[in-house]
Amino acid sequence: MNETAFLRFAGYSAYFNAIVFILSLVALMIFFSIGGIWGRINDSLSIIWMLSYLPLAVALFLINRSVNTPISLISSLVGIAAALAFAGLQILLVIGQVRFEQTFAATLTMTALVGLFVLVHGLLGRAGQTLPSGFTWVMIIYGIASVVGVIGFQIGGEQHPLAMIGLLLTAVSGLVWVIWFGRLLLSKAVFAVLAGAS
């Protein structure tokens, strides 16, 4: 698969990420209302959701490597490692090898690291003007909100103000940035940036 084909694949992966995220939220809300198998469905969807970040991490490296190759590479590798670790823990949870209480802190940390990887690429995109300004601001908000939400959870649980604000902003900005990214990757704008950097 050449670079152009891969970026288009990543664009569809971004849209897929948004769809799975919405389905996961719906399953979570139903679980909170009636319980039952919906918790397992949410956990299963979260595996797919997190794995769909992998092509996005590679795509962001390809776009931002011209700005700062080492930072772009390290950031994407952190995002990939965090997504894989999150997915691995959730697989163990779904098949009943671990309990929710055993993986909760670790999956929160992995979520924050994914947010951090998006934040760094948002900053690189702004610095190098490889991505639209408004889009990079959404990425930055998503990254900060992810970290803040996790910190709030660690301090005082889901009722902590930082957790509530962080999770709300993460949900909204996370959905916006992946849909916007999918649109960018499936347009000619990103390819023009890459052509100019080569």
Residue 190's pLDDT is 67
Rg of the chain (C-alpha set): 17
Domain total in the chain: 1
CB neighbour list of residue 27: distance below 8 Å, 6 or more residues apart: 38, 39, 41, 42, 45
CB count within 10 Å of CB 24 equals 20
Domain range enclosing 90: 3-197
Tell me the average confidence (pLDDT) per consecutive run of 10 residues in the chain, 198 residues long.
88 96 91 85 94 97 95 98 96 91 88 96 95 95 93 82 88 94 85 58
Q: What is the pLDDT of residues 168-193, one digit of tens each?
A: 899 999 999 999 999 999 986 666 66
